Structure 1
Amino acid sequence: MNAIFDNIFNSPYINEFTATQFLLLVICGLLVGLLITAFYTYRNEYSQGFVITLALVPAIVSIVILTVSDNIGTGIAVAGAFSLVRFRSIPGTAKEIGAIFMAMGAGLLNGVGYVGYAVLFTLIMGTAYVVYNRLDLGRTKDRREHQVLNISIPEDLDFSKEFDDILEEYTSSFRLTRVKTTNMGSMFRLTYDIVPRDPVKQKDMIDKIRCRNGNLEVSVSDIRDDMATL
């Protein structure tokens, strides 16, 4: 049992490595990436591009750490910056960033030769992820469906209480959460957090809002925990 968790290089500071050790790290990194991907895709929305990237990150991080193993601090810095390049242009959700960091952790363990610990870490964290999802950890106790209502209005419209009567009629609760200028400052976009009384009457609510905002854009979307960006 102890042999499973031994360092394949007998030291985290690797002066030289063989082709067999190199291939072992790559293969184990890919297997760990597939494990992490399997856990991440459980009861979760995802894109194919992100899933493929997530599956490759542990192997990539392992090789980065292997090639700069004489300076672990430099390796961690390089691997961290490299694995988060995706989030420079596309906002990452909390779950995506968490999955990336989990893949990085497994890749770091694998890269310094602790293959057994990398697999064990992946199994523990992946199991915790599945259990937390099953328990709906962090989900509000109020099971009513919250939604986001976006209303575009002209800049000369006083929006302070313009739509309150409509929202009181069609929602159980509503709250103005954001006001933003759009279209070079010629319009405002109002964002409300609402709880509809009857989803069937959503069109009636939108039609009444359009009569007030000059038939400008109105949108309603669901609030989902996994869309909270960092």
Structure 2
Amino acid sequence: MLETLFASTLTDTLTLSTTLNVIFTSLIMGLFISIVYIKTQGRDGYSPGFTITLIMLPAIIAIIILLVGNNIAQAFSLAGAFSLIRFRSAPGNPIDISYVFFTLAVGLACGMGYIAYGIIFAIMLCVVMVILSITKYAKPKIRNMQLKITIPEDLDYQDCFDDILQHYTQSYKIQRVKTSDFGALFEIVYTLCLKEDINQKEFIDKLRCRNGNLSIVLNTEIINEKIYI
């Protein structure tokens, strides 16, 4: 019974009912993964376009696998067609990229006819994602921030903001210093952790008075890991 349940549903001849079954199952599982993604990433924010992509990807991969089948010539033809497309993507959140591979794997399972495997795989990984989100696994209790301050060249960057930073932050460290505008300006990059219940506008206003009202950028989250696809 179990062997029949987990066997491939595809036959040598591709029928309309089999194709529709695979496509609709892929879309349903993509929708399920997308809902789990929204629920687990809601606090950190997410792109609406990315959630739609999670729905479409399993069906797209399943269709490609159905078209290729065991035909080597068709496989090379599709590979050549996709090689003409130039994909561009900015560095993304590692969690988002893991969801992309997740949906690709589900689409492959459905396209090969192993729908039961795809359903079990999707449910198990979604349960894991929900558990990790609820337990806040590996999330630091203290959120680091990145501060970029532009100062004129005649201002000593080494200790000019120490008194302000000591008052408003729990810890801080100079991460990088670089020049701009042919050496007329310096850009200092700090990694810091603000104290609780600190007024960020007041903190930035203090810095503006010190750096001559030049550019100040406060990034509220630092992503240390970057993955390129």
Per the shorter chain, which TM-score range? 0.7 to 0.9
Structure 2: gaps spanning 5 or more residues? none
Deviates more, 1:42-51 or 1:119-128: 42-51
How far apart are residue 106 of structure 1 and its match? Answer: 0.5
Provide the TM-score with structure 2 as the length reference: 0.81
Provide the TM-score with structure 1 as the length reference: 0.80
Deviation digits for residues 180-220 of structure 1, max 9, x if unmatched?
55668764433322222253343332222112222112232
Q: Which residue of 1 aligns with 2:190?
A: 192
Q: Determine the C-alpha separation between the residues in 2 that align with 1:155 and 1:65.
A: 60
- Change in Cα spacing, 1:202 to 1:155, as seen in structure 2 (3 Å) is same
Structure 1: gaps spanning 5 or more residues? none
Question: Counterparts of 1:1-230 in structure 2 under 5 Å?
Answer: 1-2=1-2, 3-9=4-10, 16-44=13-41, 45-70=45-70, 88-140=88-140, 143-155=141-153, 157-179=155-177, 187-223=185-221, 229-230=226-227
- Residue-pair matches, total: 217
Deviation digits for residues 136-195 of structure 1, max 9, x if unmatched?
11112xx34433322223455442333222211221111223445566876443332222
Deviation digits for residues 12-52 of structure 1, max 9, x if unmatched?
xxx54111111111111101101111111113121211100
Q: Determine the C-alpha separation between the residues in 1 that align with 2:182 and 2:16.
A: 59
Root-mean-square deviation over aligned CA pairs? 2.9
Paired residue secondary structure (1:95) = helix
State the identity as a percent.
34
Q: Determine the C-alpha separation between the residues in 2 that align with 1:185 and 1:113.
A: 63
- Change in Cα spacing, 1:107 to 1:137, as seen in structure 2 (3 Å) is same
> Contact conserved, 2:27 with 2:55, CA < 8 A, in 1?
yes
